[in-house]
Amino acid sequence: MPRLIVNADDFGMAPGVNRAILELHAAEVLTSATLMARAAATEEAVKMALAMPSLGVGCHVVLVDGVPASDPRKVSSLVDGNTEALHPSIGDFLKRLYTGRIRSREIEAEAAAQIALLQSYGLRLTHVDTHKHMHMFPLVLRPVLRAAKAAGIRAIRNPFEPLWSINATVNAPESRRAEVLLLRRLESRFRRVVEQEGFVTTDGSVGVLTTGTLELSVMHALISAMPEGVFEFVSHPGYRDETLARVNTRLFESREIERNALVAIKDYVGINLISFADLHDITAHPIG
């Protein structure tokens, strides 16, 4: 029987996102969410999380397109000197990263600051992942793992989509499909590093390719094709509101459609819904 973690990213981004996460967990569909430490509705999300101990909560480490939890002067390679905000563009971040202009110790420091901020509220974090899956890149992965390990966290998202899931996603733009397939070349190194550092992870992330285009028919195709294994369904549910409208996101229109599609998960039999906290209890689960 497949085991599936249904995780919502962007917890704390906006009240409408928080509301959708609350409803989906109450409907026994959503098992996990990753919380942004410095977002518009973080404090509301923290209160919700503390009131829902059955919801697994991780840290959604934000290294691009957000506000740092650290003093900007201490993570100067990560921020725009004029705005003191994190650089908004993935392309700019990667260009700076691979030309040595972003310092590894500052990635670690910022990840540690975000994790510590959430833990200071009394949250027991189950895992970490990163906004826009930045930890798929080795130069980001290692410092994020160091920060997580120091905070007592030993589970991380495997951000790479399995081939069976890519093949089952029929409505994705071809440019997006090519990008997801290309990035899979980084997976073997990811798995090696995660294992070396003593972390647990899944067999892959379902729904990465269909981000922004998830609807009921796609959900049915993905669930029907799911083989034995442990997977994470990466989702971005929400309701449109004024706060979300001010966020730089391509998912404004699609969040409600995605929320409606996720509800259908509870109608499927033969799938065991778990959270990241359960990964540690799956005896001798291989990550390779």
The mean per-residue pLDDT over the stretch 182-189 comes to: 97
Alpha carbon of residue 263 to chain centroid: 19
| 285 pLDDT above the threshold of 50 | no
Class of domain 3-281: alpha beta
- In this prediction, residue 215 carries a pLDDT of 84
Tell me the mean pLDDT in the region 149-162: 98
Evaluated on CA atoms 229, 152, 160, 191, the torsion sign reads: negative
* Rounded-to-integer distance, Cα 256 and Cα 215, Å: 10
pTM for this prediction = 0.94
Hey, which residues does 3 pair with through a beta bridge? 230, 272
Residue 286: pLDDT over 90: no
pLDDT value for 248: 63
CA gap 253, 120 in Å, rounded:
34
157 has a pLDDT exceeding 70? yes
Ranges 27-41, 92-106, 109-123, 242-256: which has the least confidence: 242-256
* pLDDT tens for each residue of 90-99: 999 999 999 9
What are the residue boundaries of the structural domains of the chain, listed by start? 3-281
